[in-house]
Structure formats: C-alpha cells, structure tokens
Structure 1
Amino acid sequence: MTESISAERILITVGNSMMGDDGAGPLLATLCREQPVAGWTVIEGGTMPEDCLHQVRKIKPKQVVVVDAADFGEKPGEIRFIESDTINDMFMVSTHSLPLNFLIDELKTFIPDVTFVGIQPAIVAFYAPLTDMVKDAVEQIHYALSDWQQYATFEHC
C-alpha cells in the first residue's frame, strides 16, 4: 500500500555528509526528523536532488525551500538566499550529479514559490567533520522553519 503525502511546504536538503560542510543539508534533514517542524515535509535530496523531482511533482506543494552548502565567498556559516540565475555564476560546492540550478529551474516550472538557501562552507573534503559554524547555521535554519515567511523576508544574513 502506497501512502499519499500531502504538503503545502517542502524542504529539500542537499549534500553529502561524508564531505565536511557539504553535510549541512543532511544534518538539517536529521534535525527535522528528530524535531519535526509543523507544516513542513522534508525530502533528503543527497547528492542527486534532481531524483526527487517526481516526488515533489506528485505532492504539488505551494512552496519549496532547497538548502545546500554554497561557496559565495563569505565567512563560514553565513546564510544567503540565492537566486537561481546567480547559481550558474557562482562556484557551488559540487558533490552533485547535475548543477543545482537545473533542480531550481525545473521546480519553478510547477511550484509558485521556490527558494534556494546556501550556507557558506569552511571545509569540503572527504571525511572532514562538519564545522561548528555550519552546524550553527543549520540549527538557525531549522529553528526558523517554524516562522519561515517572516525569516525569509528579514535581512538576517
């Protein structure tokens, strides 16, 4: 028996927990499993987040937030809302099979509200630990999910 999921808001976490700060997305997914946030359905995208497109398409949410490590040249642990057209111009932590802008652009074809949130990594290396700055940023995002509309409009980064 297949369970049908219905959600207004989906959080897609992206990253590889074996690659230091690229594990920000997987850590956020773990936090959301351990401490669920009302109103959010979490999909772990891992290193191939485009593979979850069919799930999102089936659920038809009104809002999707994608969280991943992104090198935008700021201090480690900084959080930024990044436009999809900017993703191509940035060096993105690339442990993924396809560029992240592919996922964002595709989501925008059928979801009215898509947001990409990047966390500046300090270290992305095989078997490196997640840094405290990035852990703190993940916790901040997890906490903010309960009042996301206000968080997303507040200049916090």
Structure 2
Amino acid sequence: MTYDAEVLVVGCGNVLFKDDGFGPTAIKELEEHLDERPLPDNVITIDGGTSAPYYVFSLPNPMWKKIIILDISDFGGKPGDVKILSKDDVPEGKYQDPHSLSVADPLDDLDEVEIVIIACQPEKVSSPFVEVGLSDSVKDAIPKAIDIVYEQVKL
C-alpha cells in the first residue's frame, strides 16, 4: 500500500502496553467521529500500530506533503500533557518506542515531507507486560490531540 494522500495522520503505538496505545486509540476516536467532523479529502488516517516506522514511513510516496504522528513521548511533562514536536526535536537515532525500535531513521529519509509529532506524555507504559487500556490522564488528552490534528491538516 502506498498511502495515496497529501497528508497522513498516523497513530503509533501498541494497545497492549497501557499508554503506548495512545496513537492507535486517538486514530480510532478520530475515525469514529468523521461523520460529524470530516477531514479534508487530501487526508487519510492510519492506525500504524508498532509497524509504522517500517511499513508506512519507509514506503515514501511523492504525493506526501505532511505526516502527522500521534504517539507517546517522554518530554518531561505531566501525564496527559500534549506537545507538538517536529522531526528536529527528535534526536537522531534516539526516538525510541518502549520496544527500542528506532523511528528517527525512516523519518530522516523523508526530507521533502513536513513531519509533525503530536506527543502525549505517558503515565504508564507496561511493556513487557500486557495491560490494555489508557491511563485516565492519557485518555483525557485524546480530544486535545484530535483538535491539534484538525489545526495541522490545513496545508
């Protein structure tokens, strides 16, 4: 799949590891309300799970202008805080998910694409133990993250 759209909104994370499920859960919430709050035609949503670095970002499409990533990040905030990060805010080779998979490398190859990361400060990531469901603080952050998506989809 080549994801033919100018703007990709990608939820990254693993729903089996508590707050690591923020990205996919935010995408699901966004998609459930598209009838009331549609996205522009040039935007697609993707639940990238834990595979986005390798099965989305590593398959560039010349059509892409912007990728908006919903994910957790430890940026020193309070649990549930939401912050916009750019690719430049991610130290090269240092953006790691709880499973030590590097996301920076495939993003570095997307020079012509604007990368926006909507990051949520996690409260708890349960890896390697399965614990389904977001912390209340992270769950409560989803509407704010979705509002930021709508602000960002304007080219």
TM bin, normalised by shorter chain, reads: 0.7 to 0.9
User: 1:1-157 alignment to 2 at 5 Å?
Assistant: 6-36=4-34, 37-39=38-40, 40-50=43-53, 51-53=55-57, 57-58=60-61, 60-88=63-91, 94-96=97-99, 98-107=101-110, 109-111=111-113, 113-125=114-126, 126-148=130-152
- 1:101–1:118: structure 2 CA closer, same or farther, 3 Å change rule? same
The one-letter amino acid paired with 1:130 is L
Three-state SS of the structure 1 residue aligned to 2:61 is helix
Contact 2:68-2:149 at 8 Å conserved across structures: no
Matched residue type, 1:127: E
The structure-2 alpha-carbon separation of the partners of 1:78 and 1:91, relative to structure 1 and needing over 3 Å to count, comes to farther
Q: 2: distance between equivalents of 1:26 and 1:80?
A: 17
The normalised TM-score by structure 1 is 0.76
The amino acid that maps onto 2:7 is R
Of 130-139 and 115-124, deviating more is: 130-139
Deviations 1:111-147 (A, max 9, x none): 1x21122110001013153012111212212133333
Are the aligned partners of 1:8 and 1:62 in contact in 2 as well (CA < 8 Å)?
yes
Between Structure 1 and Structure 2, which shows a larger proportion of helix residues? 1
> Whole-Å Cα distance in 1 between the matches of residues 93 and 74 of structure 2?
7
CA RMSD of aligned residues (A): 2.8
> In 2, are the aligned partners of 1:72 and 1:91 still within 8 Å (CA)?
no
> Are the structure 2 counterparts of residues 139 and 8 from structure 1 closer, same or farther at C-alpha, using a change threshold of 3 Å?
same
In structure 1, how many angstroms separate the alpha carbons of the residues matched to 2:76 and 2:124? Answer: 13
* C-alpha distance in structure 2 between counterparts of 1:77 and 1:65, whole Å: 18
Counterpart residue type for residue 121 of structure 2: Q
Q: Deviations over 1:75-133 (max 9, x none)?
A: 001111223344238975623563121232223x231x211221100010131530121
Q: Tell me the secondary structure at the aligned position of residue 143 of structure 1.
A: helix
